[in-house]
């Protein structure tokens, strides 16, 4: 998995390429936690999932963990460029109750 991050104001955009699963979830957690610590003014995490083709329960768990951290600081979690199969995984897992999905980066940034 390739993980790229970009800080835009109080937003952290995380672009993922590959699968978010048991093998790659620890790297995702480490990178995102490092950035959230480094940029202590981050309030919103935007996951760009355009190049993600699979998420398992480990991936869902690591996303939920970042939501919990952000929500304690008054922040939000959202996702962009979500494919229908990934959206279905989010629906079944209940993640859509705690996060918003936007079509693209600009829509998500305009929201925050």
What average pLDDT score do residues 87-108 get?
95
Residue 88 phi, psi (nearest 5): -65, -40
Instruction: Tell me the HSE value of 25 on the side-chain side, using a 13 A CA sphere.
Output: 15
Dump pLDDT digits (tens) for 15-45: 999 999 999 999 999 999 999 999 889 999 9
Closest CA to 86 of 98, 76, 97, 96: 96
In the chain, what are the domain boundaries?
2-110
Q: Kindly give the pairing relationship between strand 11-20 and strand 2-8.
A: antiparallel
pTM summary value: 0.94
pLDDT at 73: 87
- For the chain, give the mean pLDDT: 95
Confidence of residue 112 (pLDDT cuts 50, 70, 90): confident
SS3 99: coil
pLDDT at 71: 93
CATH superfamily of 2-110: STAS domain (3.30.750.24)
């Amino acid at each position: 998995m390739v993980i790229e991050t970009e800080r835009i104001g109080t937003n952290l955009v995380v672009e993922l390429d590959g699968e978010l699963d048991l093998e790659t979830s620890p790297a995702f957690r480490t990178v995102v936690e490092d950035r959230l610590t480094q940029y202590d003014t981050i309030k919103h995490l935007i996951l760009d999932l355009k190049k993600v083709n699979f998420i398992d329960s480990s991936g869902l768990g690591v996303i939920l963990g970042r939501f919990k951290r952000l929500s304690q600081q008054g922040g939000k979690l959202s996702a962009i460029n979500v494919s229908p199969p990934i959206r279905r995984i989010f629906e079944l897992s209940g993640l859509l109750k705690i996060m918003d999905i936007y079509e693209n980066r600009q829509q998500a940034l305009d929201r925050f």
